[in-house]
Amino acid sequence: MTSFRYLKILFIAIFVGLGALSVTVLDNLKFSFDFSQFFPEEDPDLSFYNDFVEEFGTDDNFLLIALVNDSTVFDQGFLNRFHAFATESQGFNHVTGSSSLTTLSYPLKTSFGYTALPVIHRDDSAQYKKDWKKLKEDSLFINVLIDEKSKSLVVALQTEDNLDYKESEVLLGQIRSSLSEHQLDNYHILGRAFFYEAIVEMQKSEVLKTTIVASILVFIILLLVYRSVPVVLISVFSISMSLLLFLGLLSILGKELNALAAFYPVLMLIVGTSDVIHVTDSFIRKIQSGTDRYVAILASLKEVGMTTLLTSVTTAIGFITLLSSRLVSIQDFGINAALGVIVAYITVIFLTGSLLITMPEKKLIGRKSVSKKWSRYLLAINIFTKKYPNPIIYGTVAFTLACLLGIYLIGTNYEFKQTLPNNSQIAADFEFFQKNYAGFRPLEIAIIAKDDYKVTDFIAAKEIEKLNLYLKGIKSIGNLQSSNLAYKVMHKANNLNKSQFFALPNDEGTFERYKKDAKKLVRKHFDGFVNSTETRARINGRLQDVGTDSLKTIYTQISGFASTHLDTTVVTAKVTGKSMLLDKNSEYIRSSLLEGLFYGLLLIGIIMALVFRDFKMFLISLVPNMLPIMFAGAILGFLGIPLEASLSVVFAIVFGIAVDDTIHFLGKYKLGISQGLTKEKAIERTFSHTGRALVITTIILFFGFMVLLFSIHQPSITIGLIISVTLVTALILDLLLLPVLLRKFIK
């Protein structure tokens, strides 16, 4: 036993050293948020979009700042402050362009050439009524740079593509400083940089909050269960160490934490707690019976260690099934979570085991009467399963049918605003732009010239205008711009700036003249909508956040109109852009989810068949493991919660963790049979010895995931609620259904 004394000291020293190393690298943890994380990989539309971006740039490189003046924006003092900010914004870091109504002007053709008329005569308040009337007549800027009640004005910034977190912070810092300097306190911001900052801040806050709350919760539950402070301290120290090592490992590997990062602390704490309880329960039971502590730890690791390893592997496989997803963010979560499960197992086996044999036996035992009470309650459940096997089976069938109905009701009409932190500034700003402006979601339509035509030809421009007019008729679309905008502005400028002339000219000769003028006067705008070879053009706009199903209907309608109403021998049109790619997720979530679960089930089935060496045992284990997954889907359907990317992790978590209880139950039963016990005695001992650990771990899992109810992220709240309820269902199925199936099908 002397070698064990040295080994325990060595293991404790190694983990303390690794923990200290992890603390030093935590500052290097990277948090990120990018819409491209949610793009479906290997999708033809993604390939098309990537080519499109190379020619025209990204479609989310904008930042909108709406400045509100409650009475009206046509107030000279407000307009002067607004203009000062708009002018200053042109020099902000990472800004490539800035536009607002006080910096824009109408071109007007005179006998001396083109001149410029200000959209708003800022220095002449007598012109304000005329300016507002003109804006309403044109309707070009309404709900784009000014709201329809004239209570707010927008500064629209164009930024460099794909700003990262630090660059976004720098830009937003300059914006807020300038707004404060110009006494513009009532403002709303919308755009990639603002989303990036807000979501990353939310991730950091969520990780810290869930870690603290879950740790306190685990401590309280363990204290109530074991009534022994040393046991609880050992457990909490081991679990906390596994979390620390996991985060340190992610930092060393350079992993970026995305929007799902808040789940890691909860997962590590509850998975680690489950392992700790099974090992500790077995160890304490043995030293209570008078076994030497070193003999007891060896016997516990031999008895529970392999089962715990099996549960850790199956849980990891549950997370690995997420690799079937086409979304990078979900794949990363699956890999990281599987890695965390293995880290937790290694920590529990070596560190917890070493700490348990370090403590004096009297301090570990606590109140012995607790175990007897647990046994009495659990054996009563066993008796119930013996008395009422048929009602349990009938109830299971009815439950299954109800789950199937719920799954049938699952929808995918997901709204982007549901991903935003509850009661946050970004949610309020998003809602402001939804109500008063054209929306946030970018709409991109690629126009492709056919054969020898160019998108700048008069015949092509007329086809593009057909599509423009159709898009204007769709209520959810606003802020439409295209290559035709330049020609229409020129036509208006050549006709005394009258609103009715904001249209394409009727003859090709006039069109060609305007095209030549447009290329000189508004070259930058022109280049933003037509590629260098003039074989491709773009139409872009903004979409209201009306739900993914509704938006997919709009995309289908646009494609249908383009294929049936445009002359496809001249041009074709294709909907593209980040918004469309995000909305395609729902097409893949169901298929990738089922595919992943199938492969996971197959792998776990092979492992369980090899371990138990009994195909019937494998089949018996399927029922209580598949039903919780079905129940999770049914909850989504009955509550009307749309299925979206982040919710797909629910099924992997439920599948990975629910199978643990089944393995522990069947593992203990199989051990009893191998020791010569009868079937009934083996089931009875399984309830008495393993049932307590199953109930305790499920209680901790339940409350551990309920911690997510404190989240400000709606998907996290939904995930916490569904997983908590589903895992309780999994325990009930294991305790009630497994004994019935064992009695009926195992001879």
Q: Could you give phi then psi for residue 647, rounded to 5 degrees?
A: -70, -15
Give 111: exposed, middle or buried? Use CB within 10 Å, 0-12, 13-18, 19+. Answer: exposed
Same domain membership, residue 592 and residue 579: no
Say whether 705 sits in a helix, a strand or coil. helix
Say whether 730 sits in a helix, a strand or coil. helix
User: Cβ–Cβ contacts within 10 Å for residue 546, how many?
Assistant: 18
Whether 416 is covered by a domain: the verdict is no
Same domain membership, residue 273 and residue 185: no
Residues constituting the chain = 747
Output the domain CATH number for residue 328. 1.20.1640.10
Same domain membership, residue 442 and residue 370: no
Same domain membership, residue 461 and residue 594: no
Which pLDDT does position 367 carry in this prediction? 47
Whether 415 is covered by a domain: the verdict is no
Same domain membership, residue 333 and residue 203: yes
* H or E stretch covering 374: helix 369-387
Same domain membership, residue 450 and residue 463: yes
Residue 226: both structure tokens together: 């074991």
Residue 376 CA: distances (Å) to CA of 24, 369, 385, 735: 49, 11, 15, 14
Which pLDDT does position 368 carry in this prediction? 45
Q: Which residue, 583, 600, 621, sits at the end of a domain?
A: 583
Whether 419 is covered by a domain: the verdict is no
Which pLDDT does position 37 carry in this prediction? 62
Same domain membership, residue 293 and residue 172: no
Which pLDDT does position 557 carry in this prediction? 92
pTM, two decimal places: 0.76
For 431-518, list the strands marked E by DSSP. 441-449, 477-482
Same domain membership, residue 635 and residue 734: yes
Q: How far apart are CA 719 and CA 494, in angstroms?
A: 59
The set of residues, in sequence order, having a beta carbon less than 8 Å from that of 378 and lying 6+ positions away, is 687, 688, 691, 692, 695
Give 372: exposed, middle or buried? Use CB within 10 Å, 0-12, 13-18, 19+. Answer: exposed
Q: How far apart are CA 297 and CA 1, in angstroms?
A: 12
Whether 64 is covered by a domain: the verdict is yes
Residue 704 CA: distances (Å) to CA of 127, 375, 399, 534, 578: 63, 25, 26, 58, 35
Output the domain CATH number for residue 107. 3.30.310
Half-sphere exposure of 538 (CA within 13 A, CB side): 25
Whether 450 is covered by a domain: the verdict is yes
Same domain membership, residue 382 and residue 287: yes
Same domain membership, residue 607 and residue 524: no
Whether 480 is covered by a domain: the verdict is yes
How do residues 312-357 score in pLDDT, each as one tens digit? 887 787 778 777 776 777 788 888 888 888 888 888 888 888 888 8
Q: Which residue, 567, 583, 599, sits at the end of a domain?
A: 583
Same domain membership, residue 729 and residue 599: yes
Residues of the chain with pLDDT under 70: 1-6, 31-42, 258-259, 261-262, 326, 361-372, 585-612, 645-646, 648, 747
Same domain membership, residue 546 and residue 445: yes
Task: List residues bridging with 97 in a β-sheet.
Answer: 158
Which pLDDT does position 585 carry in this prediction? 67
Which has the closest alpha carbon to 154: 66, 246, 245, 60? 66
Q: Which residue, 153, 171, 196, sits at the end of a domain?
A: 196
- Find the distance separating the first CA and the last CA of the chain, reported in whole Å: 43
Q: How far apart are CA 380 and CA 385, in angstroms?
A: 9
CA 493 to chain centre: 48
Say whether 615 sits in a helix, a strand or coil. helix
Whether 649 is covered by a domain: the verdict is yes
- Number of domains within the chain: 3
Q: Could you tell me what percentage of the chain is helix, strand and coil, using 3-state DSSP and rounding each to the nearest 5?
A: 70, 10, 20
Residue 494: both structure tokens together: 């050549």
3-class SS string, 533-561 = CCCEEEEEEEECCCCHHHHHHHHHHHHHH
Which pLDDT does position 369 carry in this prediction? 41
Whether 362 is covered by a domain: the verdict is yes
Residue 655: both structure tokens together: 């599948």
Which pLDDT does position 660 carry in this prediction? 74
Domain that holds residue 357: 197-408+585-745
Task: List residues bridging with 449 in a β-sheet.
Answer: 571
Alpha-carbon dihedral 723, 728, 734, 737, rounded to 10 degrees? -110
Which pLDDT does position 600 carry in this prediction? 61
